[in-house]
Amino acid sequence: MRATDIQTVRALPLFAGIGEAQFNALMDAALLQRFPAQVQLIREGEEADFLHVVVEGLVEMFASSDGEETTIGFLAPVSTFILAAVLVEKVYLQSARTLTPSRLLMIPAGAVRKVFAGDTAFAGAVVNELAERYRDIVRQLRTQKMRTGIERLAAWLVAHGEATPDGLIVRIAFEKVKLASFLGMTRETLSRSFAALAEHGVSVSGRTIRCADADALVRLARPEPLLDEHGRPAA
Amino acid sequence: MRATDIQTVRALPLFAGIGEAQFNALMDAALLQRFPAQVQLIREGEEADFLHVVVEGLVEMFASSDGEETTIGFLAPVSTFILAAVLVEKVYLQSARTLTPSRLLMIPAGAVRKVFAGDTAFAGAVVNELAERYRDIVRQLRTQKMRTGIERLAAWLVAHGEATPDGLIVRIAFEKVKLASFLGMTRETLSRSFAALAEHGVSVSGRTIRCADADALVRLARPEPLLDEHGRPAA
DNA sequence: GCTTCGCTTTGACTTTTGTCAAATTCGAGT
DNA sequence: ACTCGAATTTGACAAAAGTCAAAGCGAAGC
C-alpha cells in the first residue's frame, strides 16, 4: 500500500481523531486489493467480515429480491461502506459490486470492533458516520415516498450538477439504467422523464446533461432544505 | 418518576451495560412528562435537544413536505427515538407526535453525549442501536422500492399478526390512514388493497383483521428473509 | 335509541409508472 | 473510421396508484 493511499484513508472523517497506534493496527490488519469492473464484493445475507474503503474506482450498493435489483447508492473514493453490519456482527442487508476497476481497502471486522472498544475518538467518529448514513437513508426514503419520479430526477440533477456559465452540467459516471434503479424507476421511465424535462431547458447527450435553466429544475424538484442540503449526498 | 419506570428504562438494550453512576446521571438530568394525544413532540428542522424514550403510549414519526405528510414509523413502549440527531448535534429530519396519551422520558442531548464519551459500554450500545435503526430504514427503503402496495400490506400483516387457532389476527393500534401513509399509499388504495386481499382469505372488521390462510399472505408478500426476519420491526 | 362527526369505503376517472417489443444510438475494440 | 453488441429510446398498451366526490359506517355523546 502506497504512503499516499494511507494518507488519503487517514484523512477520512472516520479515522480523523484516532490514535496513531490504533490506526496502524487497523492498517496492518487491512488488505488492499484491486478488482476489475463488475465484481460482486459483497453478497447480502453473508457475514460481514470486512469494513471496506473505496480508495479508487466506483462501487454500487444494491439489493436484490426475486430476481429484481434496486440500486441503493454509489460510492466514490474515498468512502467506507457496510460499517453498520460490521459493528453489529450481522449479515449484510445490501450487496456491492464494482462498476469500474477499483482499489479497495478491506479492514477485518474484528480489528474494527477492537479499536472501537479501545479508542474513544474512533468510537465517536463511528457514531458520526453511522448517524450520517442513517440520515442519508431517511432522506432517500422520504424522497421515494413523497416525490414523483420526475421530481426525484430533477432533485438528483440539481444535487449533482456543476454550475457553469452554460448552466448546470451533470456527467453521469455510470449507466443510465443504474441511475433509474437508484431513483426507483425503470430505464424507460427515466428516459421519458428526461424527455419531459426538455421543456424545462434540459438537454441530454449521452451521459452528459445540460440544464440551461437551473431554477426551473429547482422549482420542479420542490426542494426541501432538509432533504437536499447536506454534506455527503447518498449518491 | 416511579421506580418501576426506571427499571423498565434500565432494561432497554441501550442502557443495558451502562455503569450505575452514568445511568443515574442520565436519569437525574431527564424529565418524565405526560402528553395528551396528538401533541407534536418534535418538529423537523429543529435542534435535537433531547433523547426521547416512550415509556407509555404510542408515538408516530413522520415527515412533511409541501403540506403532505408521510409516516415513517410507530413507536411503542419502550423505545427511544432520534438518537442519531442527538449524537451528531444536527437538526431532526423527522417529526414526532403522540397518537395516544403518552408518557415520555426526555434526556438532555448534552448528558447523552457526555455519557457516550465516558462509558464504553454505553458507546457500544449506542452503536448497536444506531446500526439497527439504520438497517430498519434500509429495509423500509427496499420494501418501498421493490414491492407493490398490496405486497407491502401483506408483508406488514404477516409481520404484525398474531397466530391463533382461527388464523392470523392483526389489531391495528391507530387509524388506517396512518397505516396507509406508513405503507406509502393513500387511504383509498389501502382500502382497495384490503378488499383485494379478501380473495386470499382476509376479512376486515374495523381495526381488526383476520387472515384465515396465513400462507396465502406469505406467498403474496414474496417474503425476503433479510427483509422480514428481524428483531424489532420498523413499525 | 338516536344523532353527529369523523373515518373509511366505494365509484368513476386520471395520472403515473411499468411491460413488451422494436428501432435506434452509443461506444469499446478493431 | 467501422462494426458489433450493448445500452437507450420510442411506441403501444397495461397495470398500479392517486384524485375527487359521494355514500357508508361507527363510536362518542345526548
Residue A233 grid cell:
449526498
Chain C: nucleotides below 7 Å from protein CB are 7-12, 16-21, 26-27
- Output A3 or A26, whichever has higher pLDDT: A26
Distance of residue A135 Cα from the nearest chain B Cα, in angstroms = 7
Q: How far apart are CA A229 and CA B5, in angstroms?
A: 39
Residue A181 grid cell:
434503479
Q: How far apart are CA B40 and CA B63, in angstroms?
A: 12
Q: What is the pLDDT of residue A223?
A: 66
DSSP-assigned letters across all residues of B32-63:
EEEE-TT-EEE-TTSB--EEEEEEES-EEEEE
**Residue A224, Cβ density class (10 Å: 0-12 exposed, 13-18 middle, ≥19 buried):** buried
pLDDT in tens, A223-235: 665 655 554 444 5
Q: List chain B pLDDT tens, one digit each, 235 residues.
A: 677 888 888 999 999 889 999 999 999 999 999 999 999 999 988 988 999 999 999 999 999 887 889 999 999 998 999 998 898 888 888 999 999 999 999 999 999 999 998 888 898 898 889 888 988 999 999 999 999 999 999 999 999 999 888 889 999 999 999 999 999 999 999 999 999 999 899 999 889 999 988 888 988 887 675 655 554 444 5
**Strand D: which residues 112-151 of B lie within 7 A (CB)?**
148-150
pLDDT in tens, A115-169: 998 888 898 898 889 888 988 999 999 999 999 999 999 999 999 998 888 889 9
Beta-sheet strand order (sheet of B202-205): B162-164, B167-171, B208-211, B202-205
Q: What is the pLDDT of residue B16?
A: 87
What architecture (CATH level 2) is domain B3-144?
Answer: Sandwich (2.60)
State the best of A130, A152, A189 to mutate against chain B, taking most chain B CBs within 10 Å: A130
Which chain A residue has its CA at the smallest distance from B138's CA?
A137
What architecture (CATH level 2) is domain B147-228?
Answer: Orthogonal Bundle (1.10)
What superfamily does domain A3-143 belong to in CATH? Jelly Rolls (2.60.120.10)
Q: What is the pLDDT of residue B229?
A: 57
Beta-sheet strand order (sheet of B31-35): B31-35, B102-108, B50-56, B79-81
Q: How far apart are CA B196 and CA B211, in angstroms?
A: 13
Would you say B136 and B231 are in contact if contact means Cβ atoms under 8 Å apart? no
Question: Quick one: chain A helix, strand, coil %, rounded to 5?
Answer: 45, 25, 25
Residue A194 CB neighbour total at 10 angstroms: 17
- Dmax over CA atoms of chain B, in Å, equals 58
Residues of each domain in chain A carrying CATH 1.10.10.10: 147-228
Alpha helices in A56-210 (DSSP H): 83-88, 109-118, 120-146, 149-160, 176-183, 187-197
Out of B45, B84, B144, the one facing A131 most closely (by C-beta) is B84
In the predicted model, is pLDDT for residue A7 greater than 50? yes
Residue whose C-alpha is closest to residue B134's, from A229, A32, A137, A50 = A137
Contact list, A227 vs chain B (CB under 8 Å):
65
In the predicted model, is pLDDT for residue A111 greater than 50? yes
Out of B128, B134, B141, the one facing A133 most closely (by C-beta) is B134
Instruction: Test A226 with B45 for CB contact under 8 angstroms.
Output: yes
In the predicted model, is pLDDT for residue A109 greater than 70? yes
Residues of each domain in chain A carrying CATH 2.60.120.10: 3-143
Q: How far apart are CA A9 and CA A77, in angstroms?
A: 10
Q: Please tell me which residue lies nearest to nucleotide C17, judged from CA to C1'.
A: A189
Would you say B232 and B132 are in contact if contact means Cβ atoms under 8 Å apart? yes
Would you say B73 and B234 are in contact if contact means Cβ atoms under 8 Å apart? yes
| Cis-peptide, bond into residue B78, ω within 30° of zero | yes
Sole residue written with cell 497506534: A21
Q: What is the pLDDT of residue A135?
A: 87
Q: What is the pLDDT of residue B234?
A: 45
Residue B33 grid cell:
412528562
What contacts B213, CB < 8 A, 6 or more positions away? Answer: B167, B200, B201
Q: What is the pLDDT of residue A215?
A: 87
Distance of residue A225 Cα from the nearest chain B Cα, in angstroms = 9
In the predicted model, is pLDDT for residue A172 greater than 90? yes
| CA neighbours closer than 13 Å in the CB half-sphere of residue B9 | 26
Q: How far apart are CA A79 and CA A93, in angstroms?
A: 18
